[in-house]
Structure 1
Amino acid sequence: MAEAHQAVAFQFTVTPEGIDLQLSHQALTEIYLSGMRSWKKRIIRLKNSVITGVYPASPSSWLFVVIAILATMYTRSDPSMGLIAKIQEHLPVSQSMSTQCQVVLSAVLFSTMLWLLLIFTMRLCLKQLLSYHRWMFEQHGKMSTTTKVWALVRIFSGRKPLLYSYQGSLPNLPVPTIKDTVKRYLESVRPLMDDAKFERMTKLATEFESSLGNRLQWYLKLKALWASNYVSDWWEEYVYLRGRGPIMVNSNYYGMDFLYVIPTPIQAARAGNSIHAFFLYRRKLNKEEIKPVSSATSQSAVPCCSYQFERMFDTCRIPGTVSDTVQHWQDSDYIVVYHRGRYFRLRVYQAGRLLSPREIEFQIQRILDDPTPPCKGEAKLGALTAGDRIPWAKARAKYFSSGVNKRSLDCIERAAFFVTLDDDEQCVMGDDSAASLDRYAKSLLHGKCYDRWFDKSFSVVYYKNGKKGINGEHSWADAPVVAHLWEYTLATDSFQLGYNAEGHCKGEVDASLPRPQKLNWEILPECEEQISQSLAVAQALADDVDFHVFPFQDFGKGKIKKCRVSPDAFIQMALQLAYYRERGTFCLTYEASMTRLFREGRTETVRSCSNESSAFVRALEGGEVRPQKLRLFRAASEKHQLLYRLAMTGAGIDRHLFCLYVVSKYLGVESPFLKEVLSEPWRLSTSQTPIQQVELFDMVNHPEYISCGGGFGPVADDGYGLSYCILGENLINFHISCKHSCPDTDAHKFGAQIRKALHDLIKLLSPIEKEPNKTEEKKMEVKKEL
């Protein structure tokens, strides 16, 4: 039976004849293999820590230095300038060794110290090189002499780096000056305020800069000297973990499957290949064989911080009454699968080896065919993770702290990741493709509000017709990290593992595999009441979400680049134009930018609504002459690129102001300026989802084999959440969310405005074709007649 308990390693009973001991050889074998697997991982981690610790050199370079020093001494010259002799004099074992051995040992010790000094120097040089960011502000094709010298970073970067090889060489995030931050802030809000409001805000900012700001800045600089990153820990705690509202819709995000292709219509087969691919990725992650991600604008020269990858698997968000925590365990050998109200523990390792895709498919099919009904109160248990955090924290402490409930909850939280086998079908083909994409997005974002475990680092959803998707928890990492995993699994599933002619996974099945174990629960009536309350909160939130997803295929980055414009700046200007046309005003706009060029960096805000962008939009809508509109557009796009580069290089506005606000709270002082800044709503929250591993996909020959990207819920009740993914040369996917409860927002109408704005901008930037005069028209007519 699926709910049967697993066999224990041994059993014993006391009889009149003595103790009757019965050993389970299978269980003992599993324990032995599990221990061997654990020790292998420890050895791999130890080896990788050594390799990473001496990077950009290699451990083998130590032997080269030793041989070089000994060879030099063999020629009767002293490369140490007397240091080897000094070491020989102070050797503690000199009395029990021959003179020749003492010389060799002294030379080896000197070589080791020289090698460590060389490594320290190389790492210091690499850190200085990685701290240089002026290259980002130079025009394309015009490289300064300093940047040409900086290109030495390629030499100091070493060969075949491991995932964490650069961590010790990445620079710390700098703290901007109060003066620069206040100046940029006032500049960013100028198009959003009338003269009276702006004058008032300028006064508040000036008072803050000349008084309290300097005191708060001193504490922040002190933290920056002590911590690896002065922002990230506070950002994780106060923005994510201390949020007391639902994380479903408000925080979690999703990623979609291939746009128009379903590799197999068999649900269990798609899960088999995909789950196997996830564990192949985890194996590469444990061995640090994943190539460090590089900045997209640096032609793979400048590495990004990889620390967010550490908690990708075996991680869960744990609710608390004041603040949640992120808990990470050692590698789990199982996943938890949800199907029709039941939770199953599915082991993916047998006898120390990873199950094949076909075997995982076999186990998944067992779950699909299992007729066992859910335990009382089990079916909608996941709603606790979808509702408010405080009720969930109290229920967890009261009803899940002991007994069978604790064991089952621990099983879910410690799993490698969470899987949902959904009975619904999702598809973007057919006459209703537009509406089907919207339903697909909503399903991935919140599902039925109880059939996902929103606290897990990520949950994978497999639909009845073979479609799949992913839902990510936001506190432990940002979307590009999960997207990197998702790209790998999509490509591995379809292009490497593949399916047979019937649509099943390839390979054979070991029919003796133990059945997946159904988790048991004892849900009390008062706990069921709390589940119902959480579900009601989550359902109201989910029903209020309005979603629109559409692929824009009229043109893409290929045509935009021909106009000598950054595709990202082009889209952001289109969004400003679309919003202005819909609402008749401008709004505070959030565009996410990474700060992973710095150690433990996460994100920074690009305030895309600027004086330049608003001037361009007004000129376009006011009917200015074309040269004037072109000039203003160029100025707006260049300003956007400047703001983006400033954010990436640690000179953004919002994270600095956020940290100053946190310091003020710790000190117990009030700042009217900071309080007002932090309370301003982001009515347009945007993010680009980049394709990081282009080499995994063939966008020219197989454009259908590409993810539709992902999206997130609205940040403000009266605003839009908007994600876009630039794919290949001729496709841009948009994901738009807002709330039905706001009469001023409509995802579909805003989508139509975006389409119109994109066409208007490309028409403006494209060269005007000269109309033929009458003489030329007559000549063309004569040619046609001939």
Structure 2
Amino acid sequence: MAEAHQAVAFQFTVTPDGIDLQLSHEALKQICLSGLHSWKKKFIRFKNGIITGVFPASPSSWFIVVVGVMSSMYTKVDPSLGMIARISRALDNTGYMSTQTKDVVSCFLFGTGLWVALIFTMRYSLRVLLSYHGWLFEEHGKMSRSTKIWMAMVRIFSGRKPMLYSFQTSLPRLPVPAVKDTVNRYLESVKPLMKEEEFKRMTVLAQDFAVTLGPRLQWYLKLKSWWATNYVSDWWEEYIYLRGRGPLMVNSNYYAMELLYVTPTPIQAARAGNTIHSIMLYRRKLDREEIQPTRLASTIPLCSAQWERLFNTCRIPGEETDTIQHLKDSRHIVVYHRGRFFKVWLYHNGRLLKPRELEQQIQWILDHPSEPQPGEAKLAALTAGDRIPWAKCRKTYFARGKNKQSLDAVEKAAFFVTLDETEQGYRTEDPEASLDSYAKSLLHGQCYDRWFDKSLTYIVFKNGKIGMNAEHSWADAPIVAHLWEYIMATDWFQLGYEEDGHCKGSTNPSLPCPTRLQWDIPEACQEVIQASLNTATLLADNVDMNSFPFHTFGKGLIKKCRTSPDAFIQLALQLAHYKDMGKFCLTYEASMTRLFREGRTETVRSCTSESCKFVLAMVDPTQTAEQKLRLFKAACEKHQHMYRLAMTGAGIDRHLFCLYVVSKYLAVESPFLKEVLSEPWRLSTSQTPQQQVELFDFSKYPNYVSGGGGFGPVADDGYGVSYILIGEHFIHFHISSKFSSPETDSHRFGKHLREAMGDIIALFGLTENSRK
């Protein structure tokens, strides 16, 4: 096979005249270029480490400080208050330096010490400044003088041209709330959801916990918060994600849709070529830390730690707990098509493959006539089923030989690519069914054509539409959304396509062909694969998905109501759920805690006493519009206050979760914590953020709107709802539930949600035309 020969660096034969050594110059050239590439990356990391390490100062500032101190020698001004003289006297003991040399060395040492002291002073000052969160609680659109001064100081101490990880050491640590505060906020959140007797019982449990066991558990948590960078994140990753033994597919992984109404090319290989190249351009920017750190109000930095494991990452199954395997670099991807796995190198002659070259490689795979090897076609179903069978199977059948080599190729790839044989995307003749099918395909596919353990599974459909399925343990959705925005913008506005739909550029006949991965899967292993597929298929077939665009109005009209768009939609979800179920339920809304180092998420309990009063007023015909508006504004203010508390480390659920973990380590039972942690989230919601608005001009390209992303239902009898607000006039919703529940129906909930959105906007006397 041609690809086998490409892997041979040299050959030798033994002859009567000795050993005949035949070197492959091309192979040696590639080895040399690979080494140069590796050293180049090491140098870039070293340079970035220095720049980040001295931030908010810069390496050039060291030269300025040292030269300034040395210049003082000739002006007879001592900026050191005698320190330089003391250093010089200490150097006298060596006896090897002249007076002038001692003066120069003394100034050099003092200048360097002064520079380091200034760095730590600026960094500590910035951390103190970033510990202030009062700006978040000010009325929207109004900023006090003190906040303006505070923001100006943050800008001064933030340095110039920060890199992705520049602010990491300046971010404050996540604070541990007081136990009584958390307990009181918890009781307030469940009061509208419990009957009076049940609430009294819970109040007794909570108050007893707050004065007996709570302070003891809190002491250990405080100790951890002083020692660890973040007292929540490592336990959250381990116990919520990695120790879960159920399927990742549907239960944990989430998906991302591309632009709904436009497709740049119907050629599958061309779309794959452009977008894979775009992904690699983003990875190069990430490796060089050239991605700008996210900053609220263009000033307050958010933690960037989650970017570290975006690529070259895979979740490895274990019998008790999984682990995350992350490599510093990977020079290949693995592509799945029609039951076969191919390894594709991303570099040739020391450079990244161009879009047309990648299209060439992908087209080669599409045209390859080979059939799957026994057990190969549905192998990835192992990653879709329960974790314990996969862990045992991996240890038994994939620990050696060609199976280990091929599995290593998959798990150590930069990311996984699926060339899907179906056609997906928005169809004008059947918009509802087409988007539902698109969402379900991205969420679970055929259950064996995505590698659900990989941090990213990139999907290219037969008609040129694309999508992403992401594993959840390593990071949260905003990180993938940031990458996804870059891919779509680069694909459309920078790379582009030829008139015939192919990638720009020309093919390269010297490229080595992709390598077919080889497997030797025994029948016993195939039985495990089939069992995992059966489990996954039951789970996938049970997902009731409703994905739909909401065109009636967007956040532009909502802003005219002088309220937060997120609060508006959350109240619409409460109203829709009440219309759908006739009752209220515990509601989860994800909020971020990335104002703190290594922060991830916190829960906003969106169902409050204020929101319940508003919903009841909306379904009561005796209530006037003025009364409903008053209750709406009170509910919005409450929601925004809860969201701000969650963002600033004063949430409820992560604190209680960590107290529960401590109780398990101490082997003590807490009826209160046990009951709190077992409460189901029957309405789980999340907003997909739009972060790089400068990449898209919606006034010029109004149809270039993305569908955002979604996830599976959290509770068996509940809903999972995701939404994205694009531009000023567009919102897209994703609703998931389970067919097995007689209480839920995703399409029925979608109908109620549309009605609720319209009912609320009507309170303000605004219509779709009002936005114009």
TM-score norm. by structure 1 comes to: 0.96
Aligned to 1:780: none
Distance in 2 between residues matched to 1:375 and 1:612, nearest whole Å: 60
Deviation at 1:77, TM superposition (A): 1.6
Q: AA paired with 2:243?
A: R
Q: How much has 1:37 moved relative to structure 2?
A: 0.8
The 2-side partners of 1:16 and 1:243 are apart by 63
Aligned pairs (5 A) from 1:55-454 = 55-91=55-91, 94-151=94-151, 152-295=153-296, 299-454=297-452
Contact 2:614–2:631 under 8 Å retained in 1: yes
Q: Equivalent of 1:585, from 580, 583, 595?
A: 583
Q: Cα gap change, 1:324/1:220 in structure 2, threshold over 3 Å: closer, same or farther?
A: same
Task: Please state how far the C-alpha of 1:89 moved relative to its aligned partner.
Answer: 1.3
Partner secondary structure for residue 301 of structure 2: coil
Matches within 5 A, 1:543-558: 543-558=541-556
1:314 and 1:16 mapped to 2: Cα distance? Answer: 48
* Deviation, structure 1 residue 698: 1.0
Shift of 1:145: 4.0
How far apart in 2 are the matches of 1:119 and 1:766?
A: 55
Q: Please tell me whether the aligned partners of residues 94 and 102 of structure 1 are also in contact (alpha carbons under 8 angstroms).
A: no
Quote the residue 2:496 is aligned against. 498
**TM superposition shift of 1:2:** 7.0
1:602 paired residue number: 600
**Where do 5+ consecutive residues of structure 2 fail to align?**
768-772
Q: Tell me the alpha carbon deviations over residues 731-772 of structure 1, each in whole angstroms, 9 at most, x when there is no partner.
A: 11000000000011000000000000000000012379xxxx
Alpha-carbon deviation of 1:429? 2.5
Give 1:513's aligned amino acid: L
Deviation at residue 94 of structure 1 after TM alignment: 4.9
Tell me the distance in 2 between the aligned counterparts of 1:292 and 1:141.
24
Residues 225-274 of structure 1, C-alpha deviations (whole Å, 9 max, x = no match): 00000000000000000000000000000000111000101000000000
Alpha-carbon distance between aligned partners in 1 of 2:469 and 2:5, rounded to the nearest angstrom = 30
**In 1, distance between residues paired with 2:691 and 2:380?**
32
Partner of 2:637: 638
Instruction: Report the Cα distance in structure 1 between the residues aligned to 2:258 and 2:7, rounded to whole angstroms.
Output: 38
Q: CA deviation at 1:93?
A: 8.0
Structure 2 CA distance for partners of 1:516 and 1:93, relative to 1, 3 Å: farther
In the alignment, the residues of structure 2 paired with residue 14 and residue 767 of structure 1 have an alpha-carbon distance, to the nearest angstrom, of 88
Deviations 1:702-726 (A, max 9, x none): 1222321000000000000000000
- Give TM-score scaled by structure 2 length: 0.98
Q: Once the 2 structures are TM-superposed, how far is the Cα of residue 154 of structure 1 from its aligned partner? A: 1.1
Where does residue 721 of structure 1 map in the other structure? 720
The answer on whether the counterparts of 2:179 and 2:210 sit within 8 Å (CA) in structure 1 is: yes
What is the CA distance between 1:21 and its match in structure 2? 2.1
1:294-341 deviation per Cα after TM superposition (whole angstroms, max 9, x unaligned): 23xxx1211110000000110000000000000001211110000000
Give the 3-state SS of the residue equivalent to 1:748 in structure 2: helix
Q: Which moved more, 1:62-71 or 1:744-753?
A: 62-71
Question: What are the Cα deviations for residues 584-604 of structure 1, in whole angstroms up to 9, with x where unaligned?
Answer: 110000000000000000000
Between the aligned partners of 2:144 and 2:282, the Cα distance in structure 1 is 40
C-alpha distance in structure 1 between counterparts of 2:38 and 2:517, whole Å: 25
Match in the other structure for 1:773:
none
Task: Write out per-residue CA displacement over residues 664-708 of structure 1, whole angstroms, 9 at most, x where no aligned residue.
Answer: 011111100000000000000000001100001111111222321
Could you say which residue in structure 2 is the equivalent of 1:781?
none
Q: SS in structure 1 opposite 2:91?
A: coil
Letter of the structure 2 residue corresponding to residue 431 of structure 1: E
Q: For 2:738 and 2:434, how far apart are their aligned partners in 1?
A: 19
- Whole-angstrom distance in 2 between the partners of 1:198 and 1:233: 33
* Aligned 8 A contact 2:311 2:414 in 1: yes
**Residues 2 and 517 of structure 1 are in contact (CA less than 8 Å); yes or no, is this contact kept in structure 2?**
no
2:270 aligned partner, one-letter code: A
Letter in 2 for 1:154: R
Counterpart CA distance in 1 for 2:409 and 2:490 is 28
**Is the deviation greater in 309-318 or in 615-624?**
615-624
Equivalent residue letter for 2:450 = R
The one-letter code sitting in structure 1 at the alignment partner of 2:565 is: P
Q: 1:98 to 1:278 in 2, by over 3 A?
A: same
Residue aligned with 2:52, SS: helix
Q: Distance in 2 between matches of 1:330 and 1:591?
A: 33
Distance 1:685 1:489 in 2: 28
- CA deviation vs aligned residue, 1:589-646 (integer Å, no higher than 9, x gap): 0000000000000000000000000011111212312222111111000000000000
Q: How far does the alpha carbon of each residue in 1:511-549 deviate from its partner, in whole angstroms, 9 at most, with x for none?
A: 111100000000000000000000000000000000001
Instruction: Map Cα deviations across residues 100-119 of structure 1 (whole Å, 9 max, x no partner).
Output: 12111111111001111111
**SS where residue 713 of structure 2 aligns?**
coil
Are the equivalent residues in 1 in contact too, given 2:344–2:514 (CA < 8 A)? yes
| Structure 1 residue 4, shift from structure 2 partner | 3.5
Counterpart in the other structure of 1:684:
683
Which of these residues, 453, 464, 467, is aligned with residue 465 of structure 2?
Answer: 467
Q: Distance in 1 between matches of 2:370 and 2:41?
A: 37
Give the aligned residue type for 1:223. Answer: K
Alignment of 1:49-60 (within 5 A): 49-60=49-60
Aligned-partner SS, 2:754: helix
**Residues 537-590 of structure 1: CA deviation (Å, up to 9, x unaligned):** 000000000000110001111111011011000000000001011111100000
Deviations 1:131-171 (A, max 9, x none): 11010001134433432331110111111100000000000
Moved more, 429-438 or 184-193: 429-438
The corresponding residue for 1:775 is: none
Q: Which amino acid aligns with 1:316?
A: C
After superposition, residues 607-626 of structure 1 pair within 5 angstroms as 607-623=605-621, 624-626=623-625
Contact residue 2 and residue 370 of structure 1 kept, 8 A: no
Measured in 1, the distance between the counterparts of 2:356 and 2:3 equals 23
Aligned amino acid, residue 515 of structure 2:
Q
CA contact (8 A) 2:217 2:663 kept: yes
> 3-state SS of the aligned residue for 1:486?
helix
- Identical aligned pairs, as a percentage? 67
Q: Which residue does the alignment assign to 2:664?
A: 665
Question: CA–CA distance in 2 between the matches of 1:520 and 1:13?
Answer: 27
Partner in structure 1 of residue 755 of structure 2: 756
Alpha-carbon distance in structure 1 between the residues aligned to 2:232 and 2:612: 30
13-22 vs 505-514, which moves further: 13-22
User: SS of the counterpart of 2:418?
Assistant: strand
Hey, what's the Cα distance between the residues in 2 that align with 1:763 and 1:61?
59
Q: Hey, what's the Cα distance between the residues in 1 that align with 2:304 and 2:701?
A: 30
Report the alpha carbon displacement of residue 92 of structure 1 after superposing the two structures with TM: 7.1
Q: Is the alpha carbon distance of 1:142 and 1:705 closer, same or farther for their aligned partners in structure 2, counting shifts above 3 Å?
A: closer
Aligned residues: 766
| Partner AA of 1:672 in structure 2 | P
User: Separation in 2 of the partners of 1:725 and 1:92?
Assistant: 69
| 1:37-83 Cα shifts (integer Å, max 9, x gaps) | 11111111111111111111101001111121122221112111111
Query: 2:761 & 2:499 partners in 1: Cα distance?
Result: 45
Contact 1:129 1:150 survives alignment (8 Å): yes
Cα distance in 2 for partners of 1:767, 1:580 equals 23
Other structure's SS at 1:470 match: strand
